[in-house]
Amino acid sequence: MPTISFKLPDDLLTRLTEQAKARRVTKSWLIREGLVRMLSEQTSDRTPSCYDLASDLAGAIQGLPEDLAINPKYMEGFGC
């Protein structure tokens, strides 16, 4: 089985350690089980949103006004 490493905040690591001890399983097992549940629920319960599909593009264009989405002057001509 391949190995993966990642960083956890101290409080989350503490909770993970406590749960693993309480259930008498390894932290790795607990993480795998959580990922399996989360990924199976995510794929079966909902269709990805437009943002999910294009999230890698969010914020990719440089030089635009910061208030583009909320300033009415930028919405002129779009039915607002």
Query: Distance between CA atoms of 72 and 29, rounded to whole angstroms?
Result: 51
Answer yes or no: is 34 within a domain.
Answer: yes
- Residue-number span of the structural domain to which 32 is assigned: 9-45
Query: Distance between CA atoms of 22 and 59, rounded to whole angstroms?
Result: 42
**pTM (global) more than 0.75:** no
Instruction: Write the pLDDT tens digit of every residue in 3-33.
Output: 999 999 999 999 999 999 999 999 999 999 9
**Contact 17/27 with Cβ under 8 angstroms?**
yes
Is the confidence at residue 80, as pLDDT, over 60?
no
Answer yes or no: is 62 within a domain.
Answer: no
Instruction: Write the pLDDT tens digit of every residue in 40-56.
Output: 876 555 677 888 888 88
Answer yes or no: is 50 within a domain.
Answer: no
Q: Output the DSSP codes for 12-71.
A: HHHHHHHHHHHHT--HHHHHHHHHHHHHHHHHHH-PPPHHHHHGGGTT-S-S--TTTTT-
Q: How many folded domains does the chain comprise?
A: 1
